[in-house]
Amino acid sequence: MSSSFFIKKKENPKLAKKVKNTAGPKRKQGDGTLKAKKPSSKYNEEISSDSETESPAVSKKRQSNEEIEYDETPQEKKLRLAKVYLEQLKEEEEKKAEEDAFEADLIAGRLQEEVLEQKGKLQRLIAKDIVPPDPSEIRVLRGHKLPITCLVITADDKCIFSAAKDCSIIKWDVESGKKLHTIPGGRKGTQDRHVGHTAHILCMSISSDGKYLATGDMNKLIMIWEAETCKHLYTFSGHKGPVSGLSFRKGSHDLYSASHDRSVKVWNVDENAYVETLFGHQDAITGLDSLSRERCVTAGGRDRTVRVWKIAEESQLVFHGHEGSIDCIQLINEEHMITGADDGSVSLWSVNKKKPLGTVKQAHGCHGDARLEQPHWVTSVAALQNSDTVASGASGCSHNSQVNVWKCGQNYRGLELLFSIPVTGFINSLKFSSSGQFLVAGVGQEHRLGRWWRLKEAKNGIYVIPLKRKPSNPGEAKMTE
């Protein structure tokens, strides 16, 4: 609109006359003066559009609207929209770059953790955040008629497999606590016609992919099961004494077994094949464990040695430290392990040092009078892999047995007791869930390896112990030297 629009034009006499005529007749007021009739709203609008009384704000707004509506050419509009589009693209690219960088950091972090794990130098510091469980939160699963001797937890933490002196195997659902499957035990002498064990089951292991379950018994036999269906697949024979330790090599279907015949055997489950036998212990082997390296560790019972077996090199390392029979062993990571003995001590080891890095004597206290005081026998140990958290279980008289949860010191030099959980009976097996959200204890009236004494007040069962945590930085980890 041109600027002349706002300039008042000279009045046309004819138009003025016409406007005057349309104003309508005059009428008298009460005082006798004449009052003109107000024009209609239509004429008000026509008059105000030509008037000079329009406010500056209205005028400015009108000009602005007119500039947007009329002054922008098609080319300018295209240019403006193109700029907006380019800005949007730039923002999206920046956002994508940030997400890619974050993802790259995550991948790098995972790779770094895997490297540290392989080197045995990964130590997640979580022990300081674990809160002692409320006794009312501990669940007990009962189904075995005789003492539980061993158990394992699947990698996804959904199922527990347990075995007992009644020769049976039970698969449990962790969330509901219900039995998913039971493989009944057979009576002695019925092994030719019974599918399953007919002697006390002493040990078990599950492959890291959850495909195979292996169980070993007093009859010198190892049985392989399909973990999903509990279908029997193979039976391995060859040991000349009770099978006391089993462990699948992580990430494979290679199986290591240990026996009271003082030997370690290697099997390939996929091929249903025996591989080799290793000798070295001077007494019955009481425990065995392995991780992803081609090696395993064993506890030698009354020969008081711990051994690291390098399978490929066909060599072994011998470690001394406990004063009594070493009855249980567990790897914490590829470089560190924990053991328990009947002298009541719990020890931390490095595979690079022949003596323990730290030992707690009388880890579970003592029983008897002052003159005949004896430490409680450490019957099981467990480790939350690649962390600073371990646990031990002991036999006790009446109410004195307990599960102890420990914090490993820096570089695994020493143990600090976090809390104890009273559990009546022999704690024959302990396992942490992969997530570290709970700890499972297999409890019985008798020790898993014999019947030296019996606790009548104990109840055979599986204790599921929750491990709650304080709020903390997730995935906190460090290197150990």
Q: What is the pLDDT of residues 389-419, one digit of tens each?
A: 999 998 765 556 889 999 999 888 899 999 9
Q: What is the pTM of this model?
A: 0.74
What pLDDT is recorded for position 31? Answer: 47
Looking at the chain, the number of H-run helices and the number of E-run strands are: 4, 36
What pLDDT is recorded for position 62? Answer: 52
Residue 143 — pLDDT band, cuts 50, 70, 90? Answer: very high
Q: Hey, what long-range contacts does 260-265 have (CB within 8 A, 24 or more apart)?
A: 260/284, 260/285, 261/220, 263/239, 264/288, 264/296, 264/298, 264/309, 265/238, 265/239
Give residue 372's Cα distance to chain centre.
44
Pick 111 or 441 by higher pLDDT: 441
What pLDDT is recorded for position 209? Answer: 94
User: What percentage of the chain reaches a pLDDT higher than 90?
Assistant: 55
> What does the pLDDT average to over 190-203?
89
Q: Measure the CA–CA gap between 350 and 331, rounded to whole angstroms.
A: 10
Q: Measure the CA–CA gap between 257 and 265, rounded to whole angstroms.
A: 5
Is domain 124-479 annotated with CATH 2.60.40.10? Answer: no
86-104 in b/e form (b: 16+ CB < 10 A) is eeeeeeeeeeeeeeeeeee
Mean pLDDT of the chain: 82
What pLDDT is recorded for position 12? Answer: 47
Helix (H, G, I), strand (E, B) or coil at 409: coil
> What does the pLDDT average to over 374-392?
92
The one-letter code for the residue type at 469 is R
What pLDDT is recorded for position 95? Answer: 85
- Flag the least confident range among 10-14, 171-175, 451-455, 471-475: 10-14
Contacts of 367 (CB under 8 A, 6+ apart): 373, 374, 376, 396, 397, 400
Q: Is pLDDT above 90 for 151?
A: yes
- Flag the least confident range among 153-157, 321-325, 392-396: 392-396
Residue 251 — pLDDT band, cuts 50, 70, 90? Answer: very high
In the chain, what are the domain boundaries? Answer: 53-119, 124-479
Counting every residue written for the chain, the total comes to: 481
Nearest to 432 by CA among 87, 124, 15, 77: 124
Maximum C-alpha span of the chain: 139
What pLDDT is recorded for position 24? Answer: 46
Q: Which residue has the tokens 């070295």?
A: 280
* Angle at the Cα of 166 from the Cα atoms of 163 and 167, rounded to 5 degrees: 60
User: What percentage of the chain reaches a pLDDT higher than 70?
Assistant: 77
Considering 32-46, 90-104, 138-152, the range whose residues carry the highest mean pLDDT is 138-152
What pLDDT is recorded for position 206? Answer: 97
Task: Determine what percent of the chain falls in helix, strand and coil, rounding each to the nearest 5.
Answer: 20, 35, 40
What pLDDT is recorded for position 94? Answer: 87
